[in-house]
Structure 1
Amino acid sequence: MSSEFLPTWKVDSLKKHLDVGSTTTNSVYIMNGVANWITYQGMQNAIAGKKDNTRTTDGRLGVSMQFPAIPPPNVLELSIKFRCESDGPFISASTTSRELNISVSSDFTTDCTRTECEKQKLKRWIHFVGVGRCGMSALAMLALKQGSEVSGSDTAWSRIMDGLQEAGARFAIPSDTVEILHAKAMGVPVIKRGVWLEMTTKDYNLITVSGTHGKSTTASMLAYVLNAMGDDLTAIVGAHVPQFPGGNILLGSSPNLVLEADEYDDCFLQLLPFIAVITNVEWEHVDIFKDEEAVKNSFRKFLKKIKVGGHLVLCGDSEGACSLLNHTSLGNVRSVWRPQPLDAGYRVTTYGIANRNEWRALSIRQNSRGGTDYALHHKGCLVANISLQLAGVHNDLNSLAVIATIRTLIDDRWPTQELINCMKLHLNNFIGVSRRLENIVNINNCHIFDDYAHHPTEVCAVLQAARQKFPLKALLVIFQPHTFSRLATFLKDFATAFRDADRVIITEVYSAREENIWNISGTDLASSIIGPPSEFIPFVVDVVDKLAREISSSPGQELFILTLGAGDVTNVGPSLLQKLQHILWGGSTTR
């Protein structure tokens, strides 16, 4: 797509973006709905007359559709030509007093005279809705690197979109979403994210990482270590990974693909993994799953997607994860020191701290880098001492999942001890994932960190890691609840999740996609917290102002500030830095 052209399919946008005579190497698309896509071939089908055919005055076949909108003043006609080669399709737009009519026509005949070779030369054009989110942005970046033209839309700009734009993607920020309706009206395929993932991964040796918590870090760590060991693999992760050149993807030439597989909306049920990693299972996404049993049923369906002869790598310390195996001959996971063939057609390897696991982390202790060291045991025998830069027992478990998975993948092609030594080296070099206890800035003895935690279990885990990292500093937590449904469901669990903090500030709920039918607010959580003193400050900007005044008035105070949540609470750190620099004017900062 030419850089000067970006159709957004609103009348005011057409006035702004459509230039008479603009050309492009691809075709028009229209798109809407979270996690959907369309292709140039779909447009060909529409133009070729497979739906709602009309004929232009010169006999060419076309498609016509209406955009019910008030046209901009003084605009009588807009025209733009799309060229695939020298004779490609074109689109024209004209207005009347009540509507904007778009007609698409082409020199393609109904029997599609282009050869298959010619069609292969045409770049695929994919449009992603919700492209500002981690999961969708990864798919968009992968499509860019595979040579597709990429565009996208979202309700607001996000930092994730910056890298995509630099890589060549084009974006629109519509005031409403109309693309999917227009796509369907024109006969353009509209496909959900799960189907797109299935199509993207079907030709790979697929390794999925699933679970309620820890998916992003485990998938990133696994892909990083495999890549460092020489596997030129592909990886798709729902978070920014500083050590990935592509941000949240790797694109390689080997047959292996590591995918963070999300259970939300049963998206992962379209996948067919050879190796499936499950980190844990708890009730989450309460807007999708009515209770914990519904979550487990979804995961049980996912286990049936593992290919025959494949492998399940499962955290044996997670009661929810182990309960998934009740339908197999393995039962409730007692002592599993040897991968067992199951009735389901795949083998199981477990990891954790408990004695029943094949891979175990023992003698866990803090190291000088703020991370953890532990003794790695396999089948009851000490095989290595592992050192991580990441803090928290949950990251020890994540690393165990990586070790167990790589050992399963490589099997007997490497001697066990040589393989473990190689993994040990690269695990030691992994620095983590953005928004996972990420250091934002240090200023005037104040350390500001940020984390994505928005579930009670995640809050407990990150506070434990924070205490490990800074055992003697006062810990101030700023928590932004994410969605009303989650807060209403887990209010009691949240109330006890902040015990490791010295002080807690609760903001108003980040509503995301929800209306507040639960009649709940951040103030309900602030008044319920057991342990540290807490207060309710509704707006993030007011939190920044309050902290700036406190820190600047006590410049020598040792303070560890941790922002938690999946919403815009992540902006507190950068905003606070900017305000403190202005107040202190010349105070040293270290990013």
Structure 2
Amino acid sequence: MNLKALKHIYFLGIGGIGMSAIARWFIANGYALAGYDKTATPLTNALQAEGIAVHFTDDVNEIPAEYLANPAETLVVYTPAIPKDHKEFNYLKDNGFTLMKRSQVLGLLTESFFTIAVSGTHGKTTTSSMVSHILKNAGKNVTAFLGGITQNYGTNFLINESPDDVICVVEADEFDRSFLTLFPDLTIVTSTDADHLDIYGDHSQLLESFQLFVSQLKEGGKLYQRKGLNLEGFTNNQSAEYSLKEGDFYAQNLRIENAEMVFDIIYPNGIIKDCTLLTPGFHNVENALAATAVALEVGLSPEQIKEGICTFGGVKRRFEYHVRSEKVVYIDDYAHHPTEIQAFLSSVKALYPTRKLTVIFQPHLFTRTRDFQEGFAESLSLADDLILLDIYPARELPIEGVTSDIIFEKVTSPTKVLCTKEEVMNIIEEKQPELIVSVGAGDIDTLIPKIREWGNGR
């Protein structure tokens, strides 16, 4: 594929977080661009405000005529979530257009850059965003394709300032084996826990894909993996490990001051003292260790790294504070896997040890709920008071016998309630919680404005 020969880029599913980042790259580099998505969202609204034509009806006539006139000059980028009976998708496929998945296009874009890829079943969005900020804050020429909206820049995409000496940071997604289109110079792997078993079948297949992904490092590249993952095939100078308490990179003197985590970073031949995270969490301390490792590798000084860590504002829906007063603390998080929930809730309880913790959780996917019901029950039992919602189906049809009840029955929290999303605010009004978190990857975020308004009114 010769990108220079293209004039028009058409997106099927332009409102996805990863798709919109690539769309912004094409716009920034002078291409004409349009797209379809099923429904309007804040992301599609933002794209339209930037001048991109987006429509929401599956109709070939909605595609700009100049895009249809010359298939050789039009690239169609699509998300795997597009259904096989989609009219536009099938028309473009049957009429000589080049169709490529988002991951394939991302692989093309990163070929010409020095690339840092951040992968993992959880932690990759925050870590890739943190790496991007540390490098950009230090004056590096960065382009970044991220899976979340950074608080520092208000976007999921950073554009390089010139074509020379570009460092590309990319969130490498294991879903649908998408990350196998990438051949990075540096790779971070944050976790390889079982997930997406509807795609992979079992954990061993997922691990096999991660092993294949890290084998695609360019010659002379380096892998940074969380200690214990044991991805193989690397000599000591090709691989380094990090974790909270041990490894080549680890934290020391970790303490909580004013509900923030402060720590020293120990790295080979050095120490960075008194780093403060605006986005707290034990898991985010580990993410900072991984970010430090690659920042040192590309030549940043300890002082530049510390400044980047201490000014990193986090990512929307990742340990995001919405109310922070004496009476109420309200935090929202995207966690949707038992390990993520365990890390998030443990961190919240450590930050606010004297407050009763109320957790609102919306399970995501029937298959994930079925496969990890024991893990969900165990992690959610960290709540003093659990409000459990119905399963958000996303791309799936219901599975007989799989409802939120299979988690609810096993949760050992002192108090718990099973309810619909519409009932949540009445329950909050009744309980009057002092520390409340909303957790999940579905549409639970639609509750945020209401809970925030309630909290600010206390």
Shorter-chain TM-score bucket reads 0.7 to 0.9
Q: Is 1:169 aligned to residue 52 of structure 2? A: yes
Q: 1:293, 1:529 → 2: CA distance? A: 28
Q: 2:326, 2:291 → 1: CA distance? A: 38
Q: 1:226, 1:508 → 2: CA distance? A: 41
Among 407, 421, 429, the alignment partner of 2:303 is 421
| Aligned residue number for residue 51 of structure 1 | none
**Deviation of residue 383 (structure 1)?**
4.6
Is the 8 Å Cα contact of residues 119 and 174 (structure 2) preserved in structure 1?
yes
Q: 1:383, 1:395 → 2: CA distance? A: 16
Q: 1:443, 1:230 → 2: CA distance? A: 35
Among 406, 421, 430, the alignment partner of 1:540 is 421
Say which structure is richer in helix.
Answer: 2
Is the 8 Å Cα contact of residues 11 and 36 (structure 2) preserved in structure 1?
yes
What runs of 5+ residues in structure 1 fail to find an aligned partner?
1-37, 42-118, 331-339, 342-346, 552-556, 582-586
Moved over 3 A (4+): 379-383, 441-444
**What is the percent sequence identity of the aligned residues?**
30
**Deviation of residue 444 (structure 1)?**
9.2
**Deviation of residue 399 (structure 1)?**
0.4
**Deviation of residue 361 (structure 1)?**
0.7
**Deviation of residue 353 (structure 1)?**
3.1
Is the 8 Å Cα contact of residues 113 and 166 (structure 2) preserved in structure 1?
yes
Q: 1:443, 1:389 → 2: CA distance? A: 16
Q: 1:544, 1:177 → 2: CA distance? A: 37
**In the alignment, residue 561 of structure 1 is paired with which amino acid?**
I
- Total equivalences in the alignment: 429
Q: 1:224, 1:526 → 2: CA distance? A: 39
**Deviation of residue 351 (structure 1)?**
1.4
Among 142, 145, 148, the alignment partner of 2:31 is 148
Q: 1:242, 1:405 → 2: CA distance? A: 21
**In the alignment, residue 229 of structure 1 is paired with which amino acid?**
A
1:562-577 alignment, distance < 5 Å = 562-577=437-452
| Aligned residue number for residue 251 of structure 1 | 159
Among 368, 373, 382, the alignment partner of 2:262 is 373
| Aligned residue number for residue 124 of structure 2 | 215
| Aligned residue number for residue 79 of structure 2 | none
Task: Call closer, same or farther: CA 1:364–1:577 in 2, change over 3 Å.
Answer: closer
Q: Is 1:186 aligned to residue 105 of structure 2? A: no
Q: Equivalent residue of 1:515, what SS?
A: coil
Task: Call closer, same or farther: CA 1:129–1:424 in 2, change over 3 Å.
Answer: same
**In the alignment, residue 248 of structure 1 is paired with which amino acid?**
N
**Deviation of residue 500 (structure 1)?**
2.6
Q: 2:441, 2:409 → 1: CA distance? A: 21
| Aligned residue number for residue 500 of structure 1 | 382
Which structure has the bigger radius of gyration?
A: 1
**Deviation of residue 378 (structure 1)?**
2.2
**In the alignment, residue 546 of structure 1 is paired with which amino acid?**
I
Moved more, 229-238 or 248-257: 248-257
Q: 1:444, 1:403 → 2: CA distance? A: 34
Q: 2:273, 2:311 → 1: CA distance? A: 16
TM-score (norm 1): 0.69
**In the alignment, residue 352 of structure 2 is paired with which amino acid?**
F
Q: Is 1:227 aligned to residue 136 of structure 2? A: yes
| Aligned residue number for residue 315 of structure 2 | 433
| Aligned residue number for residue 44 of structure 1 | none
1:39-188 alignment, distance < 5 Å = 124-174=7-57, 177-188=86-97
Task: Call closer, same or farther: CA 1:232–1:152 in 2, change over 3 Å.
Answer: same
Moved more, 558-567 or 474-483: 558-567
Q: Relative CO higher for 1 or 2, CA cutoff 8 Å, sep ≥ 6?
A: 2
Is the 8 Å Cα contact of residues 527 and 534 (structure 1) preserved in structure 2?
no
Residue-by-residue CA offset, 1:487-542 (whole Å, 9 max, x unaligned): 000001111102331100111100000112352001221122123322110x2122
Moved more, 358-367 or 257-266: 358-367
| Aligned residue number for residue 386 of structure 1 | 275
**In the alignment, residue 446 of structure 2 is paired with which amino acid?**
N
Among 241, 246, 251, the alignment partner of 1:350 is 241
Q: Equivalent residue of 2:132, what SS?
A: helix
Q: Equivalent residue of 1:234, what SS?
A: strand
Q: Is 1:453 aligned to residue 335 of structure 2? A: yes
TM-score (norm 2): 0.88
**Deviation of residue 289 (structure 1)?**
1.3
Q: 1:281, 1:263 → 2: CA distance? A: 10
| Aligned residue number for residue 110 of structure 2 | 201
**Deviation of residue 131 (structure 1)?**
2.2
